Amino acid sequence: MQDLSEGVAQFQRDVYPAKAGLFTHLATNHRPSTLFISCSDARVVPELITQSEPGELFVIRTAGNLVPAYTPGPDGVAASIEYAVSVLGVSDIVMCGHSACGAMTALAEQHDLSGAPAIADWLRHADASLARIAGESRAQEVDVLVRENVIAQLANLATHPSVARALTAKSVTLHGWVYDIPSGTVTELRTSVPSPALAA
């Protein structure tokens, strides 16, 4: 905690004054251009990777960058997606996977998750991702699963009514990215997101 407190003090001393105008503007304006969905992994920092300023990215982070397919009922991920798309009106959605993802590694290597039931349940949202890597060589499994999971989660995203509406209106564009931690590179995946009609 000491490091965090020192960080806050440094922010107030050095960073905030340099961007005071921006923060004054942001105090009453929230118009991010992009919904950025990534893993909760501490090594993945959306604003750093994209060099975005405060106010530019609306961020949802979940273990394994998983987005459950839409089902009616209370759901924090669904509510955040709807807010970003329907209320804030983002024009782009980035689904960002990353190298050495713990969630994807646990699935690809079939780790025993019997002692972590919440994680085991949550990772079921990657069942379709896992099904897409059948037959891959073992050495490549995690990397391939990371990529296929981005594609599968974009398909899940398209089942959310707010996203389906925005896709139909062509007011939002979906992107699939993979961030490679050791090299710092970002690969944009070729994605074919199902049309809302097919996803319905």
Q: Looking at residues 101 to 120 of the shown chain, list those that interact with Zn ion (rule: CB under 5 A).
A: 101
Verify whether residue 127 is a known catalytic residue.
Answer: no
User: Which of 41, 57, 144, 148 touches Zn ion by CB under 5 A?
Assistant: 41
Nearer CB in complex with Zn ion: 32/64:
64
- Asked if 30 is an active-site residue, the reply is no
d(CA 16, CA 152): 39
143 binds Zn ion (CB under 5 A): no
| Nearer to Zn ion (CB atom), residue 101 or residue 166 | 101
- Per CB under 5 A, the segment of 3-11, 67-75, 97-105, 182-190 that binds Zn ion is 97-105
Of 38-46, 117-125, 143-151, 175-183, the segment contacting Zn ion by CB under 5 A is 38-46
User: Is residue 126 close enough to count as binding Zn ion by CB under 5 A?
Assistant: no
Examine the residue annotation and report whether 96 is marked as an active-site residue of this protein. no
**In angstroms, what is the minimal distance from the CB of 65 to Zn ion?**
7
CB of 159 to Zn ion, least distance (A): 22
Neighbours of 190 (CB within 10 A): 6
- Size, binding site for Zn ion by CB under 5 A: 3
**Cβ 119 to Zn ion, closest distance in Å?**
12
Which range touches Zn ion (CB under 5 A), out of 21-29, 95-103, 108-116, 122-130?
A: 95-103
Residue 189 forms beta bridges with which residues?
Answer: 176
Active site residues: 39, 41, 43, 98, 101
